[in-house]
Amino acid sequence: MPRLVAVSMKPYRTYRLELQDAGGTNCSVVIHPPGGRGAPHEVVGEGVTLGELINRAKAMVDAVLGPRPPMAARSAPRRDW
C-alpha cells in the first residue's frame, strides 16, 4: 500500500521551501529560488528530522542573501507625524 506524503509550501524571505513528510525520517526539503535565480535545490540528510532539514535550508538561504536585519529595524513603527 502506498504511503501518504504530506507536502507543504512555506515562504522564507524571498524563497519558497517545499516540505515533504512521509513519516519518520522519510522527509525532504526543496528550496525554490525566486524566478530567474536558478533551479530548485534539495536539502538532503540521512536520519534527520524534518525540523533539522528546515533549519539547514534556512541557513543556506541566509548564506546566499546575507544576514537578516536586526529585529528592531524590521518591526520599528513608522512615525511620520
Give the tens place of pLDDT for each residue, 16-52.
999 998 877 788 999 999 988 899 999 987 888 889 9
> What's the confidence (pLDDT) of residue 23?
77
Rounded distance between C-alpha atoms, residue 67 and residue 64, angstroms: 9
- Averaged over 70-76, what is the pLDDT? 66
List C-alpha distances in Å: 74 to 16, 36, 65, 80. 20, 26, 16, 17
pLDDT for res 19:
94
Q: Please tell me the predicted confidence (pLDDT) of residue 30.
A: 95
pLDDT band at 79 (very low <50, low <70, confident <90, very high): low
Res. 56: pLDDT tops 70:
yes
Of 65, 53, 73, 78, the closest CA to residue 13 belongs to 65
Annotated domain spans of the chain:
6-66
Contact 12, 61 (CB under 8 A): yes
